[in-house]
């Protein structure tokens, strides 16, 4: 199973076998992501990172992952500084960049736009988020995190209860993750959101058709009970239609340590694609959870490196050569990344 030359546009491209191959390669990337080893397998390769929407972790983790494989990146951010501001089409931009790079990662505000980039080039294109559409690599990182947190392999999560909270309508990470988890057997999805922000109906229908249970509720405390995993998301203020005001919604769906301890089963894993919206207090997952061992959000961001390294290695066809160029790393690295981390890095 290899995906050399493939674009990564949607989670629909993945089945359990493909996910397993990706995760096995990602496991092999852990020593590099932990800075114990260095590989130069992509030395000489260049990745184009074209982000036309705000981003911190996706853009930087794609770049860091490519660098950690020994490659280099060229990038452009925002329309204002690209020729798209002069009216250049997606077709032309994609074809032009193809001549400069060996792989491309694109984030764009319109659903389907990254697929248009891919249609214009034979260089592998990875979707870094297309508006309210999909965010396949985030879902793969989320799934990888979830498997490691629960100590399970892909395909063995059957019967799990996954509570998805927040903006399930405009949040592309919730779309991609629920679609990817649909590969499992009989997941119970508890969708906790106000009616205006519930999971799109076609997605709910598709999950049910595949034999999953989908429950929809506005009651946060009730919805969290019995969850194995809670996936909190931010209200996508920038994507809400004009006139839709959702005052107080974020507070109503915010989870803090007291609520967790009161209603969640011990060990319920708390996830979030991030960013937490800290302009509101509390955010979707309150800061008083920062030292809570159940809070997996930073382990989740850390796993963005091995999973994205694995994707690059697979689409560029070097997954089996990574260790051949490796050596030990010698620079200082802490045992844990963050001051509040409860586990060593990348457990």
- Closer to ligand NCD by Cβ: residue 172 or 179: 172
Interface pick for ligand NCD out of 68, 135, 212, 276 (rule CB under 6 A): 135
**Smallest gap from residue 133 Cβ to ligand NCD (A):** 10
Q: Counting contacts by CB under 6 A, is residue 179 touching ligand NCD?
A: no
> Which of 234, 276, 299, 308: binder of ligand NCD (CB under 6 A)?
234
Could you give the C-alpha distances from 309 to 25, 42, 333, in angstroms and in order?
A: 9, 10, 20
Residue 173: CA count within 13 A, CB half-sphere: 24
Number of residues that bind ligand NCD (CB under 6 A): 11
Q: Please, which residue, 75 or 88, has the CB nearer to ligand NCD?
A: 75
Radius of gyration of the chain from Cα atoms? 20
Q: Which listed residue (94, 127, 138, 268) binds ligand NCD by CB under 6 A?
A: 138
- List, in order, residues 6 or more apart from 176 with CB less than 8 Å away: 10, 11, 134, 135, 136, 138, 139
- Residues with Cβ < 8 Å from 167, sequence gap 6 or more? 174, 193, 197, 233, 234, 235, 236
- Answer for the pair 90, 116: CB distance below 8 angstroms, yes or no: yes
**Exposure string for 248-285, b = 16+ CB within 10 A, e = fewer:** ebbeebbbebebbeebbeeebbbbbbbebbeeeebbbb
Q: How far is the CB of 228 from ligand NCD (least distance, A)?
A: 21
The answer to whether residue 295 forms part of the interface with ligand NCD (CB under 6 A) is: no
Q: Does 39 bind ligand NCD (CB under 6 A)?
A: no
Residue from 129, 133, 136, 282 in contact with ligand NCD (CB under 6 A):
129
85 pairs with which residues across the strands?
Answer: none
Residues 263 and 255: beta-carbon distance below 8 Å? no
Q: Select from 90-98, 156-164, 171-179, 210-218 the region that touches ligand NCD (CB under 6 A).
A: 171-179
Residue 31 or 171 with smaller CB distance to ligand NCD: 171
Q: Could you give the string, one character per residue 243-282, with x where binding to ligand NCD holds by CB under 6 A and - elsewhere?
A: ------------------------------xx--------
ω into residue 275 within 30 of 0, thus cis? yes
Nearer to ligand NCD, 142 or 228 (CB): 142
Q: How far is the CB of 236 from ligand NCD (least distance, A)?
A: 6
Q: Is residue 308 near ligand NCD by the rule CB under 6 A?
A: no
Task: Write down the least CB distance from residue 331 to ligand NCD, Å.
Answer: 28
Angle among Cα 71, 77, 83 to the nearest 5 degrees reads 105
58 binds ligand NCD (CB under 6 A): yes
Instruction: Please state the closest distance from residue 25 (CB atom) to ligand NCD, in A.
Output: 21
Cβ atoms of residues 72 and 16 within 8 Å: no
Residues that bind ligand NCD (CB under 6 A): 57-58, 129, 135, 138, 171-173, 234, 273-274
């Amino acid at each position: 199973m290899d995906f050399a030359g493939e674009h990564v546009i949607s989670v629909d491209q993945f089945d359990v076998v493909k996910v397993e191959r990706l995760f096995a390669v990602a496991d092999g990337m852990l020593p590099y992501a932990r800075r114990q080893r260095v590989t130069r397998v992509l030395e000489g390769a260049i990745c184009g990172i074209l982000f036309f929407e705000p981003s911190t972790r996706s853009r930087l983790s794609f770049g860091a992952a490519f660098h950690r494989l020994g490659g280099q990146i060229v990038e452009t951010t925002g329309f204002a500084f690209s020729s798209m501001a002069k009216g250049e089409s997606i077709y032309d931009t994609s074809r032009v960049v193809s001549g400069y790079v060996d792989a491309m990662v694109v984030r764009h505000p319109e659903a389907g736009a990254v697929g248009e980039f891919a249609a214009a080039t034979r260089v592998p294109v990875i979707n870094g988020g297309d508006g309210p559409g999909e965010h396949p690599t985030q879902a793969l990182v989320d799934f990888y995190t979830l498997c490691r947190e629960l100590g399970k392999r892909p395909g063995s999560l059957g019967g799990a209860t996954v509570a998805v909270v927040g903006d399930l309508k405009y949040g592309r990470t919730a779309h991609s993750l629920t679609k990817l988890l649909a590969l499992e057997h009989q997941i119970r999805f508890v969708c906790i959101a106000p009616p205006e922000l519930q999971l799109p109906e076609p997605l709910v229908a598709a999950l049910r058709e595949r034999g999953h249970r989908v429950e929809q509720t506005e009651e946060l405390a009730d919805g969290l009970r019995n969850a194995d995993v809670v996936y909190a998301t931010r209200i996508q203020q920038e994507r809400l239609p004009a006139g839709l005001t959702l005052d107080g919604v974020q507070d109503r769906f915010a989870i803090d340590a007291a609520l967790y301890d009161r209603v969640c089963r011990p060990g319920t894993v708390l996830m979030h694609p991030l960013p937490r919206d800290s302009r509101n207090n509390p955010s979707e997952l309150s800061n008083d959870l920062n030292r809570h061992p159940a809070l997996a959000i930073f382990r989740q961001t850390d796993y963005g490196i091995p999973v994205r390294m694995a994707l690059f290695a697979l689409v560029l066809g070097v997954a089996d050569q990574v260790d051949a160029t490796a050596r030990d790393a010698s620079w200082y690295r802490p045992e844990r990344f963050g001051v509040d981390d409860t586990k060593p890095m990348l457990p």
